[in-house]
Amino acid sequence: MRDATDDGQADVTTAIAVTSPELVLAPPDRQTPGAVVLAPPGDRTLDAAVTDTRQLLERHGFLIALYPASVPAAVKQRLHTVRSVLESDRIALVESELPPLALAVLVRQLRQLSTTDLGPGVLGAAVRLLAHYIHAGAVLGSVARLDRVPVSLTTHARSWVPGSQFAVVTAPEPQLVRLGSGAKALKGPDYVTRLTTAAGHLGSTWPRTTLAAQWQVTGVEQATLPGDSPQWWGTGKLVEFAAAIPDISVLYQLITSVQRARCHWCGLELIGDRCVFCSAPLPPPAPDVGHRSGPQPVRRAPTAYRPVLDPHEDTSPGMVIQHREETAHGAAPDVVPYGAPYGPPHGPT
């Protein structure tokens, strides 16, 4: 992202960071920047990590660090510690439930979009939206240890049969079929995608041939299997795959079709219901005092964005947000920013 600051100073950029080099796929063109690989706690001291991050902020202005939800607790703690030490609202830590290869694909999309005029708040919040348009799965030699999708007892028993293979999709909705003659086709995207595959200790060509034809992808790319994939899927006998929108102009249109708002805490423009940099929620709309009186009803914030071309709308009720009336002394209490101590305004009682 290249954007002018509010006071008209030089342009700033948004750096994209990851916790593993395997989450950095080859760029599709020369314009796509790379991603910063954050060293794990065992390879870098805390002081060195703080210095590295401070230099990144000085060079770019903003930093979006993506990490899988399955990372060790020490890695997650290091990320939050560095952010707390720097006391910076210019660092966004974004956790993802996507499988490793799908997350790598999403990271590459974010790297592409970082060259556009999208602001850091919009870019960071777009991670949830982009994840909604990635079909992630794998061909597995066994589902005995799979806990990412529901597995019936019958399917679990069949996984012990030598030569059995299963096609599993975890996002955007769980699916599981046993491969073989008459196997049910997996429900795929109804928009143009490109397929990325990464093979482990399984010699299946099913994703590159059968699945690619069923989903009518525009192309197939082979990548290196991320080191976390065997643990994530419960077996090393797998071929991971992810189908995603390859056209950056389409991704840009999806993001810009979502209504934007201004974070009332840090001032960044964002989409969705929460700022990924300071974690402040989007405040509810002001009550219409001219037409309403009494307590405001409970309203629900959407849990997913609803762009114009969304084929998989989320109809879940979402997070409950209680509207508060303004008092005679002003608005409801301020939102505590990320990293700040939480407590009563005048100390503990």
**pLDDT greater than 60 at residue 327:** no
Q: pLDDT band for 160, please (50, 70, 90 cuts).
A: low
- Could you read off the pLDDT of 242-265 as tens digits, one per residue? 999 999 999 999 999 999 999 989
Whole-model pTM?
A: 0.78
pLDDT value of residue 157: 55
Q: Which CATH number do you get for residue 175?
A: 3.30.1180
5-9 long-range contacts, CB within 8 A, separation 24+? 6/267
Q: Is residue 349 part of a domain?
A: no
pLDDT value of residue 158: 63
Residue 144 sits in which domain range?
Answer: 135-244
**pLDDT greater than 80 at residue 283:** no
Nearest to 267 by CA among 278, 253, 256: 278
Q: Are strands 260-262 and 269-271 parallel, antiparallel or unpaired?
A: antiparallel
- Could you read off the pLDDT of 219-246 as tens digits, one per residue? 999 999 999 999 999 999 999 999 999 9
pLDDT value of residue 284: 76
pLDDT, mean of residues 188-214: 96
- Could you read off the pLDDT of 65-108 as tens digits, one per residue? 999 999 999 999 999 999 999 998 999 999 999 999 999 999 99
Q: Is residue 311 part of a domain?
A: no
pLDDT value of residue 340: 41
pLDDT value of residue 332: 39
Contacts of residue 76, defined as CB under 8 A and 6 or more positions apart, other chains included, come to: 67, 95
Q: Domain count of the chain?
A: 1
Q: How far is CA 329 from CA 326, 333, 336, in A?
A: 8, 11, 19
- Could you read off the pLDDT of 267-277 as tens digits, one per residue? 999 999 999 99
Burial environment of residue 137 by CB neighbours within 10 A (0 to 12, 13 to 18, 19 or more)? buried
Q: Measured at the alpha carbon of residue 95, what is the angle toward residues 92 and 99, in degrees to the nearest 5?
A: 140
**pLDDT greater than 70 at residue 181:** yes
**pLDDT greater than 80 at residue 44:** yes
pLDDT value of residue 307: 40
The pLDDT > 90 percentage for the chain reads: 67
Distance between the two ends of the chain, CA-based, in angstroms? Answer: 45
Q: pLDDT band for 153, please (50, 70, 90 cuts).
A: low
Kindly report the average pLDDT of the chain as a whole number.
Answer: 82
Q: Is residue 224 part of a domain?
A: yes
